Amino acid sequence: MKNIGRLAGWMILLGFGFGLAGCSSEGHTSFWANPDPLMRRSAATFAADAAKRSYPATAPHGPQATARAEFDQMMGRIDLVNLTAADVQNVEVWINQQYVVQIPTIKSQGDEKLDFEMFYDHDGHIFTTNGGKNPIKMMELFHDGQLFPIIIGQQ
């Protein structure tokens, strides 16, 4: 029985070592592959996309988004859920009016897993909470020319 446990442990380690678990050794943003195939991009791609975007400060503000966002600081991940009956296309998610990630589609009642490492600012700096010294103070969705605030919670 002891040998079976050791064998299983070695198999897991070998699997991780050879990238069978979606390892980030190729510049991907997360250890695990994102469930949304459209969000499986390299860190360089996320940074380049953010560099093209500016916070839409002059955009009209809509009502609170019909969405829920919860973040897990330990995992460095945000779970964003679209609570509407319709898909939302071409969405920018902004953290603290500085860091952004673009999502092609958030499906109706769909859940997007967003790693902190997907969020970059205009200058290519990655978002980090820096051990709680840089908390998420505000989160907004920008789509259809409007900004929509999201109420966020912590897991």
Structure confidence by residue, pLDDT tens digits, 48-87: 999 999 999 999 999 988 898 998 888 889 999 999 999 9
Q: What proportion of the chain, given as a percentage, has pLDDT over 90?
A: 48
Query: What residue segments make up the domains of the chain, in order of their start?
Result: 1-33, 36-154
Q: What is the mean pLDDT of residues 29-41?
A: 63
Tokens of 10: 């070695």
d(CA 9, CA 14): 9
Q: What mean pLDDT value characterizes the chain?
A: 80
Q: What is the mean pLDDT of residues 113-128?
A: 93
Task: Estimate to the nearest angstrom the gap between the alpha carbon of 119 and the chain centroid.
Answer: 7
Q: What proportion of the chain, given as a percentage, has pLDDT over 70?
A: 74
In words, the CATH class of domain 36-154 is mainly beta
pTM: 0.77
What is the pLDDT, as a whole number, of residue 48? 92
What is the pLDDT, as a whole number, of residue 16? 37
Q: Predicted confidence band at 90 (pLDDT cuts at 50, 70, 90)? A: very high
More confident residue, 22 or 100: 100
Task: Report in angstroms the alpha-carbon separations of 110 from 67, 93, 145.
Answer: 10, 15, 22
What is the pLDDT, as a whole number, of residue 10? 38
Q: Predicted confidence band at 143 (pLDDT cuts at 50, 70, 90)? A: very high
CB 52 within 8 Å of CB 46: no
